[in-house]
Amino acid sequence: MSVEQEKELAGRAAAELVNDGDVVGLGTGSTAYFTVLALGERVKTGLKMVGIPTSNATADLARAVGIPLGTLDQHPAIDIDIDGADEIDPQLSLIKGGGGALLREKVIAAASKKLVVIADSAKMVPALGKFPLPIEIVAFARTVVEKKVAALGAMPKLRTRSDGGPYLTDNGNPILDCSFGKIDDPPALARILSDIPGIVEHGLFIGLASAVLVGRGASVEEIRR
């Protein structure tokens, strides 16, 4: 099975967890894409649900497949959030933000009764840190934040677009992709980063995932916290 096939298996399996009447957090990224497609198919056959998208791109896709959308103002309590991850460790701590939606993803995850993470098997790692940690920042504070992050042992790099210009999130902020190497204590690092002025949000998701659905070959494995 290819990586794309594993992603599709996990994404479609998660879509089956949505019940009639649910308010559903709709994740961003290549695996969540398959969940949104599958939910669109279920809506066409009668599923009643409201989607709360984590990005403008996901909102556009959801509208295209016929999923009714709402806002957090309308639905501050979410029944289930389905989203991908860039890395997942054995404690179900995550690195997220490769797709640039980490702030909205974390807000929606925290507002949800359960977060189901979907992934291909390559995303499961013994320790977080091989994937650079995305950190969304205020542009005004870039140099100060870079120095503080570098002092923690990381190599921060400003994310850029394909044309070389600075990448900006849906919130209008830049992202630093920070290479830490192996992160020995993700909860401790998360607390330190959260205390640095100028950091809007970081991509360490600690204690938020209820379960992970992993595509492995031709099957889906469920891992619970």
Q: How far is CA 89 from the centre of its chain?
A: 14
The dihedral sign for the CA sequence 33, 37, 39, 43:
positive
Q: Which two tokens stand for residue 165?
A: 């210009």
- The CA angle 158-162-164, to the nearest 5 degrees, is 55
Phi then psi dihedrals of residue 38, to 5 deg = -65, -40
Which residue out of 6, 87, 105, 136 is catalytically annotated? 105
Phi then psi dihedrals of residue 182, to 5 deg = -60, 125
Is 87 an annotated catalytic residue?
no
Asked whether 12 and 66 are in contact (CB, 8 A), the reply is no
Catalytic residues: 105
